[in-house]
Structure 1
Amino acid sequence: MNSNIDATKQPATWSPSDRWAQAAQRPWHRPLYLPLDAPHHMAFRLRGNPEGGAWLLLHGGPGGRCQPGMLSPLDLARHWAIAPDQRGCGNSRPQGRAVHNHTHALVADVEALRVHLGLERWSILAGSWGTVLALAYAQRHPERVERLVLRGAFALRRREVGGLLQGARRSGKTMRPAPRSWPTAPGTSLPALLSRLRQLLQTGTPAVASLRAARRWALLEMRDAERGLRRALVHVALQQPESAPALRGAWASLRRGARQRAAALERPAGRDDLALQRQYSVQSHYLLHRGFVRPGELDRAVRTLAQRGVPVAWVHGRCDAICPPANSRGWAALGQRLAPGSATLALPLSGHLGLEPLMLAALRREVRGT
């Protein structure tokens, strides 16, 4: 019953610390809600110490959701974590909706959440697509950001999106989705593919074609993540053999997940398929519009942060097979050139995912200062 609690309606006699300390005890699947412009309500969760340094966690996607594992880089005894599901994503309502859903609205949502929580400033920990939103927010509100830790930065370039959805040349062969599970033929342009995916995935309930497309998209992402982790394992075995067992276990787990997802491609619809369709409905909407980010805007955001003295720690897996490490290298170099000391770059031997052992260790060093 209380899972639908409106975060704007709490006893006036509570102190902010009492109010948020109680909110931090709520189960992850029962978030608070902040009303936005109709029809949207943003789900968010609070964890850790309300008196500690505030950290905003921005999930990837677009279309993803905040997961408990995103808390792992933080020290919850001295950090306060704020974990919202972006507009239309996760537990935010309405789920999977594209209406009034664009990056400028997400920036406004994040700022509304900061005001609602009574925070002057906060730090931001973001990964993948979340780095785009983090840069957009920090460019618009640099005075509200203490520092950013950005993992696996996404540049919204066509080759990043096309490399996943259209296939890339690997070992002399072109790897593309099988025609039976993909809505367009090989060779279809990326805009036409994204348009078709968006059309399929924005139907109300999973049909056969939309179900196959969502499942195949998820499988492609998982396989590229597994490929990056496999590359990292090869290098770690040679350069840091003491870390190899942990990476080997993570890679084996990811590979099992990919195999299970592949085996389920043709199974009847299950209870998780509607959530999957909603996720990729939002993602196709954003990618079709290049994240609603104008060309050069991310570079301008990096320049703004350097000029305003906002520190940015770029952390990128050296073997990332989804977002190229050159994204973070280039932006870190740009920030350093404009304001020496304002940007740092860490390149752990890892792939794209934030919970890979060496990536997590690098994030903890940046966030915790240890």
Structure 2
Amino acid sequence: MRVLYPEIEPYDHGMLPVGDGNALYWEECGNPEGKPVVFLHGGPGGGTLPRHRRLFDPRRYRIVLFDQRGCGRSTPHGSTPEADLAVNTTWHLVADLERLREARGIEKWQMLGGSWGCVLALAYAEMYPDRVSELVLRGVATLRRKEVQWLYGGGAACLFPEAWSRFLAPVPYASRGADLIEVYHELLHHPDPDVHRPAAQAWSRWEGETVKFTPHAGVVDAFAEPEFALAIARIENHYFRHGGWLAEDQLLREAGKLAGIPCVLVQGRYDVVTPPTTAWELAQVLPGAELHLIGDAGHAFDEPGILHELIGTTDRFARV
């Protein structure tokens, strides 16, 4: 069973101004002369972590990580009043990615994205197919309404009723039959911290409680950390309210643009956050895609079967 590569530190890092008052944190590690790869974190609003560097062979890859607008070490942080979500959309992030590629002098890069990072990778690759060498997608999502409603409309609640009750706790009883994404929008942007902070923690905790095949207390606690929770809850809710600024089925309908780009889909069979239906449907329309359904895994990238397949894929693509 493959495991993460050893811990590694960046050999370069910095802040990239991308307009609208935003600056992105970026870093590079591994081999400066190696095959370029960019890691796209989830959320939206999650941020990168040191263990994300370890998905790639540092001898063979030039590994680029960055924090998307509003999260991680990018500024302004989504938990602050200075963060303007009006200039934080899918297409802003696609433009940021292209600006980062140009700034780092990379002609073509491999993309590895999971969950929301999968959506961003597909949106970028369909706009700039000639800039992508390979796609590695985990926890496959396309941000269709049915996908969002599964997680925030009561579908996943059937499997996690006790966690769902905690998600509903900040919602007034009379509003629980309404569109919860809209209800949460009001809660998350309420001026009183005694309203928006518990709402943010409840929103983020729901994801933390469903992301692993077997719930992990440390993961739940990390999702409930107040500053992280406020940023990810506000940014996710903002994106989900607007359908990611994508036409319904857009990423599936335009998958033909990716013909000729090797693509591997790694999907947990028991993924509650992004169920396997989307990975299956994408594999049917994405030319030449490999689909690997991992039978004993949920959503998280570091579950053993998913990690084994991801690293096996990046190792294989490193030889191309």
TM-score relative to the length of structure 2 = 0.86
Query: In structure 2, how many angstroms separate the alpha carbons of the residues matched to 1:189 and 1:321?
Result: 22
Q: How many residues align?
A: 301
Change in 2 beyond 3 A, CA 1:171/1:118: closer
1:126-137 alignment runs, 5 A limit: 126-137=113-124
Counterpart in the other structure of 2:14:
32
Give the match's secondary structure for 1:133: helix
1:69-108 alignment runs, 5 A limit: 69-96=51-78, 97=83, 98-108=85-95
Contact 2:167 2:205 in 1 (8 A): no
- Partner residue of 1:164 out of 144, 147, 151: 151
Change in 2 beyond 3 A, CA 1:71/1:173: closer
Residue 194 of structure 1 deviates from its aligned partner by 2.0
Counterpart in the other structure of 2:41:
59
Q: Which amino acid aligns with 2:164?
A: R
Query: In structure 2, how many angstroms separate the alpha carbons of the residues matched to 1:214 and 1:154?
Result: 22
Query: In structure 2, how many angstroms separate the alpha carbons of the residues matched to 1:330 and 1:291?
Result: 19
Counterpart in the other structure of 1:210:
196
Contact 1:167 1:175 in 2 (8 A): no
Deviations 1:232-258 (A, max 9, x none): xxxxxxxxxxxxxxxxxxx6xx14654
| Aligned Cα root-mean-square deviation (Å) | 2.5
Is 1:320 matched with 2:308? no
Is 1:344 matched with 2:295? no
Query: In structure 1, how many angstroms separate the alpha carbons of the residues matched to 2:92 and 2:110?
Result: 20
Change in 2 beyond 3 A, CA 1:165/1:310: same
Query: In structure 1, how many angstroms separate the alpha carbons of the residues matched to 2:249 and 2:280?
Result: 16
Tell me, which stretches of 5 or more residues in structure 1 are unaligned? 1-22, 231-250, 265-271, 337-341
Q: Which amino acid aligns with 1:358?
A: G
Contact 1:165 1:217 in 2 (8 A): no
Counterpart in the other structure of 2:207:
221
Change in 2 beyond 3 A, CA 1:143/1:172: closer
Give the match's secondary structure for 2:26: strand
Tell me, which stretches of 5 or more residues in structure 2 are unaligned? 1-8
- Partner residue of 1:188 out of 177, 190, 199: 177
Contact 1:51 1:80 in 2 (8 A): yes
Query: In structure 2, how many angstroms separate the alpha carbons of the residues matched to 1:225 and 1:38?
Result: 32
Query: In structure 2, how many angstroms separate the alpha carbons of the residues matched to 1:194 and 1:295?
Result: 18
Contact 1:42 1:93 in 2 (8 A): yes
Query: In structure 1, how many angstroms separate the alpha carbons of the residues matched to 2:201 and 2:56?
Result: 32
Contact 2:160 2:210 in 1 (8 A): no
- Partner residue of 1:302 out of 255, 262, 278: 255
Query: In structure 2, how many angstroms separate the alpha carbons of the residues matched to 1:182 and 1:288?
Result: 19
Deviations 1:302-328 (A, max 9, x none): 11102xx11111111111111011111
TM-score relative to the length of structure 1 = 0.75
Larger radius of gyration: 1
